[in-house]
Amino acid sequence: MGFTKVLVANRGEIAWRVMRTARAMGYRTVAVYSDADKDAPHVAFADEAVRIGPPPVGESYLSIDRILEAAHTSGADAIHPGYGFLSENEAFATACEKAGLVFIGPPPAAIAAMGNKAAAKRRMIDAGVPCVPGYQGADQSDGNLENEARKIGLPVMVKAAAGGGGRGMRLVERDADLLDAIRTARAEAESAFGSGELILEKAVIDSRHVEIQVFADSHGNVIHLGERDCSVQRRHQKVIEEAPSPAVNADLRQRMGAAAVAAARTIGYRGAGTVEFLLGNDGAFYFLEMNTRLQVEHPVTEAITGLDLVEWQLRVARGEMLPLTQEQVRFAGHAIEVRLYAEDAYAGFLPQTGRIDVWRPASGPGVRIDHGMKDGLAISPFYDPMIAKVIAHGATREEALRRLVKALRDTVVLGPTTNRHFLIRLLDHPEFAAGKATTSFIGKHSFPSPEVSERHWTLAASLLWRQSAERYPPDLRGWRNSNPEPTQIKLAVGETVRTLLLADGGKDGAPFHIDGRDVVVDLDAHTVRFHDRTYAPPASAAAGGDGKLRAPMDGRIVAIRVAAGDTVVRGQTLVVLEAMKIQHQIKAAADSTIESVSVQEGQQVANRTVLVTLAS
Bridge pairing between strands 28-34 and 5-8 = parallel
Quickly count helices (H) and strands (E) in the chain. Answer: 16, 36
The one-letter amino acid at 300:
V
Q: Is 596 exposed, middle or buried (0-12, 13-18, 19+ CB in 10 A)?
A: middle
Whether residue 93 contacts residue 111, with contact meaning beta carbons closer than 8 Å, is answered with yes
Distances (CA, A) of 473 to 467, 469, 612: 13, 9, 49
Residue among 179, 180, 172, 184 at smallest CA distance from 145 = 179
Distance CA(403)–CA(178), nearest Å, equals 43
Q: Which helix or strand (DSSP H or E) is residue 605 part of?
A: strand 604-605
Distance CA(7)–CA(284), nearest Å, equals 42
Distance CA(455)–CA(256), nearest Å, equals 50
Residue among 543, 449, 459 at smallest CA distance from 495 = 543
Dihedral over Cα of 172, 175, 180, 183: its sign: positive
Whether residue 336 contacts residue 368, with contact meaning beta carbons closer than 8 Å, is answered with no
Q: Is 30 exposed, middle or buried (0-12, 13-18, 19+ CB in 10 A)?
A: buried
The catalytically annotated residue of 17, 123, 293, 556 is: 293
490: Cβ–Cβ under 8 A, 6 or more apart, which residues?
Answer: 497, 498, 499, 500, 532, 533, 534, 536
* 66 is known as an active-site residue: no
Distance CA(255)–CA(269), nearest Å, equals 19
Question: Which residues carry out catalysis?
Answer: 293
